[in-house]
């Protein structure tokens, strides 16, 4: 049996009460290759595509404090664009397409917990068809 490193997971499984963008999409920095003023954008190990990131707020008020805001990563040739915010709030509702999760052990002093790293292939506004999506990132 072969279990993939990244697990395909549905948006609603992770964000059952919605997800909201709370930052701009920004390049991920490769801190190993960067120095001083020379910031180098991280690249995906498998595809070589530039890596991008955005902070997302979990809409579940019962979400634990340390996992209420998560970073979603994209591997894409061009910077993914966020859907238009027509919610009337400062937070943009979003549906993450092609969502994948990678479990890892996060250590803090004498304590450890299972944490998750997330990737998506694209993002749309809730209720929008993925076929009509122009915000698709290449995975």
54 touches 25 (CB < 8 A): yes
pLDDT at residue 58 in the model? 96
pTM across the whole model: 0.85
* Structural domain span for residue 56: 7-128
Identify whether 94 is part of a domain. Answer: yes
- Quote the number of domains for the chain: 1
What is the structure's pLDDT at 138?
46
Q: How many helices (H) and strands (E) does the chain have?
A: 1, 9
Residue 64 — pLDDT band, cuts 50, 70, 90? confident
Q: Is residue 135 part of a domain?
A: no
């Amino acid at each position: 049996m072969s279990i993939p490193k990244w697990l395909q997971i549905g948006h609603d499984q992770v964000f059952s009460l919605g997800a909201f963008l709370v930052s701009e999409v920004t390049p991920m920095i490769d801190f190993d290759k960067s120095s001083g003023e020379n910031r180098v954008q991280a690249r995906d190990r498998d595809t070589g595509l530039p890596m991008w990131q955005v902070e997302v707020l979990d809409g579940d008020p019962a979400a634990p404090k340390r996992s209420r805001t998560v970073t979603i990563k994209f591997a894409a040739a061009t910077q993914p664009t966020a859907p238009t915010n027509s919610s009337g709030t400062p937070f943009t509702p979003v549906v993450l397409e092609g969502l994948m999760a990678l479990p890892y052990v996060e250590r803090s002093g004498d304590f450890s917990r299972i944490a998750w790293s997330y990737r998506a292939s694209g993002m749309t506004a809730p209720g929008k068809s993925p076929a009509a999506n122009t915000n698709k990132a290449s995975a």
